[in-house]
Structure 1
């Protein structure tokens, strides 16, 4: 798979994420996609397969009234791509023992994308 196709798949995924378009997020993913989210060095969420990923995406969608990922940089990383991400969002719900609905959050991190068969097969988010 060429670099241009990989970059296009990542752009489609992130554009759909920003638009809260779950079906659009799933379109570039392989049926057996592996997802991991790491925060502060600890895994906070993971899924194996597109149905489990959909469940996580639906859950996360309801937590924010607004959210946006911006790619600060995108570079080859082994057989995949590494995106440096600037993220911001506004909570739609109160977090128990945490921030209240309406709180704006911002963080920087990276997302590692793996590819096979013309699809994204792995996403590892780290912040």
Structure 2
């Protein structure tokens, strides 16, 4: 069972992410937060602490002209909350993998959140 406070914090984070509001995102983070992005089973980005996360979030926000995570399901396990998401974004830059400005990305994935002292202490994004 996911408590309302935790669900509200996660929804607030996703809303801030969708609106490119990095400052609001970081207000929801624990000072010792850990972030990992895992794609095809491999970690391709990792930060430790709010400042490293903020730098990555600001850098990655410039890659997209729009982006939206839509939560499709919640589940709780141990002390973690897992959300399943549908992700859609429009590129604002050309990427080295051949994707071009204006290309639309559509993915499904999940994010795992850990909480500490009423703040997000862990985010693991899986795609």
Q: TM-score range by the shorter chain?
A: over 0.9
CA shift for structure 1 position 97: 3.8
Counterpart of 2:90? 90
Counterpart of 2:73? 73
Instruction: Give, in whole Å, the separation in 2 of the partners of 1:13 and 1:97.
Output: 28
CA shift for structure 1 position 113: 0.2
Deviations 1:62-116 (A, max 9, x none): 0000000000001112112100011010000001242001000010010000001
Give 3-state SS (helix, strand or coil) of 2:99's partner. Answer: coil
Instruction: Supply the RMSD in Å over aligned alpha carbons.
Output: 0.9
Instruction: Give, in whole Å, the separation in 2 of the partners of 1:121 and 1:89.
Output: 26
Counterpart of 1:49? 49
Whether 1:40 aligns to 2:40 is yes
Which of structure 1's runs of 4+ aligned residues deviate more than 3 A? none
Instruction: Give, in whole Å, the separation in 1 of the partners of 2:3 and 2:77.
Output: 11
Counterpart of 2:63? 63
Count of equivalent residues: 126
Unaligned runs of 5+ in 1: none
TM superposition score normalised by structure 1: 0.96
